[in-house]
């Protein structure tokens, strides 16, 4: 029974495909297929770019959380290294998205991270509240 229904479906699709090809010119069909493939490539590249951006921001957020833990434990050198790595992750994210509103949100965060990093490297204790603020702003960049 399933074999019979499958055969009927294949014959129907073959008939429809032949009818469609007969009604349209070859150049029109190649343009349609070319347009569809370009749209698919654009969407795929957009998804890849968005995924890499989100991954870089998530990496930065994780490193900021580690740095905050190190500051609480009074490990300022390790905290400074974590903030440096978080800054590198944000720079990578800025390299992916240069001229969007996301980049406008990331630039002040990057400068704040660099200031905190310099403070920790010089031996000054960093403000935990400022680290929490940066973490919340990174959450805002990631969105819901």
The verdict on residue 15 lying in a domain is no
- pLDDT score recorded for residue 11: 92
What b/e sequence results for 87-117 when a residue is b if at least 16 CB atoms lie within 10 Å of its CB, and e otherwise? bbbbebbbebbeeeebbeebeebbebbeebb
The verdict on residue 23 lying in a domain is no
The verdict on residue 5 lying in a domain is no
Closest by CA to 142, choosing from 59, 64, 38, is: 59
Q: Which residue has the tokens 């905290």?
A: 79
- pLDDT score recorded for residue 7: 93
The verdict on residue 75 lying in a domain is yes
Residues 6+ positions from 33 with CB-CB distance below 8 Å: none
pTM: 0.68
Residue with the bigger pLDDT between 135 and 97: it is: 135
**Domain tally for the chain?**
1
With cut-offs at 50, 70 and 90, classify the pLDDT of residue 12.
Answer: very high
User: What's 78-89 look like in SS3?
Assistant: HHHHHHHHHHHH
Q: What is the CATH number of the domain that holds 131?
A: 1.20.120.660
Is 90 exceeded by the pLDDT of residue 8?
yes
- pLDDT score recorded for residue 70: 85
Between CA 34 and CA 26 the distance in angstroms is: 12
The verdict on residue 89 lying in a domain is yes
Domain of 78 in residue numbering reads as 43-142
The verdict on residue 69 lying in a domain is yes
With cut-offs at 50, 70 and 90, classify the pLDDT of residue 144.
Answer: low
């Amino acid at each position: 029974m399933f074999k019979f229904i499958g055969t009927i479906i294949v014959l129907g699709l073959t008939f429809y495909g032949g009818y469609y090809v007969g009604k349209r010119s070859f150049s029109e069909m190649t343009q349609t297929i070319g347009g569809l493939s370009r749209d698919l490539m654009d969407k795929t590249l957009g998804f890849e770019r968005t995924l890499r951006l989100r991954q870089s921001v998530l990496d930065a957020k994780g490193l900021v959380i580690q740095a905050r833990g190190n500051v609480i434990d009074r490990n300022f050198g390790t905290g400074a290294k974590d903030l440096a790595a978080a800054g590198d992750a944000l720079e990578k994210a800025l390299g992916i998205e240069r001229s969007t509103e996301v980049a406008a949100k990331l630039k002040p965060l990057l400068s704040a991270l660099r200031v905190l990093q310099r403070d920790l490297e010089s031996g000054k204790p960093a403000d935990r509240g400022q680290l929490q603020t940066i973490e919340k702003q990174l959450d805002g960049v990631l969105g819901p």
